[in-house]
Amino acid sequence: MTEQPKYIIFYGPPGCGKGSQARKISALLNIGHQSSGSLLRGEIANETEIGLNIKETLEEGKLVSNEIVNKVIKRAMLAEKFKTGILFDGYPRTLLQSKSLTEMVNEIEGNLVSLIWIDVPDNVLKKRILGRRTHRKSGRIYNIYFNPPKVEMKDDITGEPLTLRKDDTKEVLNRRLNIYHKEDNEILDYYRQMNKLIHIDGTLSIDETHKAIKSELTKFGIEF
């Protein structure tokens, strides 16, 4: 019998560490890692029809419509390379997206394992966001304060230049935080009621947070 594809959600405010943690955990579990933000930024970089429509929305830190995001996510879920499952990072972000994901997982008879809420207070997020540097091609994430590259502004592996995201400014961060807090309680309640909510203290170091996530996931039947 083939194993059911597994779907795990990483949820939390901008800069809480979803991307940093999701990369490591997905590699250990041999499932895909799909960041909705990266997928959308890819559409923009490739100048697709979707990309042209959402460029401004992303730069301003506003949410892309549920319809577009669900379309991009569904495409990833049906891709052959993700048949073992996906670790979602940044999706779902609204109650409507949460319900759509449940439906999509049921349709393909997958296993929606849990939502991991990386909980970080707003006042800690500013330094994380303003200090973030990214290697665009690989998605490797650094931070000039907490996790600096070996050489300033250069990727550790390729030596290529690191970049700053256009939405990583103080003004746009405030907007992103306001949007996050509009629906966070409803989304958390939705997964709590399904007994699928994992709460993680995201103020710990990157390594400690990683250990805590692994330990909690084993309680949901995930083996490392």
Q: Enumerate binding residues for ligand AP5 (CB under 6 A).
A: 12, 14-20, 35-37, 40, 57-58, 61-64, 69, 90-93, 97, 128, 131-132, 141-143, 146-147, 167, 176, 205-206, 209
Q: Please give the residue whose beta carbon sits closest to ligand AP5 in the complex.
A: 37
What does the DSSP 8-state code read for residue 77?
H
Cα 174 from chain centre: 19
In the bound state with ligand AP5, the residue whose beta carbon lies nearer, of 6 and 140, is: 140
In the bound state with ligand AP5, the residue whose beta carbon lies nearer, of 78 and 164, is: 164
In the bound state with ligand AP5, the residue whose beta carbon lies nearer, of 56 and 221, is: 56
Q: How far is the CB of 180 from ligand AP5 (least distance, A)?
A: 8
In the bound state with ligand AP5, the residue whose beta carbon lies nearer, of 18 and 135, is: 18
Q: How far is the CB of 46 from ligand AP5 (least distance, A)?
A: 15
In the bound state with ligand AP5, the residue whose beta carbon lies nearer, of 156 and 221, is: 156
CB 201 within 8 A of CB 119: yes
Q: Is 61 helix (H, G, I), strand (E, B) or coil?
A: coil
Q: How far is the CB of 37 from ligand AP5 (least distance, A)?
A: 2
Cα 122 from chain centre: 17
Q: How far is the CB of 5 from ligand AP5 (least distance, A)?
A: 20
CB count within 10 Å of CB 32 equals: 19
Q: How far is the CB of 25 from ligand AP5 (least distance, A)?
A: 12
CB count within 10 Å of CB 104 equals: 17
Cα separation, 142 vs 154, in Å, equals 10
- Measured CA to CA in angstroms, residue 111 lies from 2, 100, 102, 171, 182 at distances of 13, 15, 10, 38, 28
CB 143 within 8 A of CB 128: yes
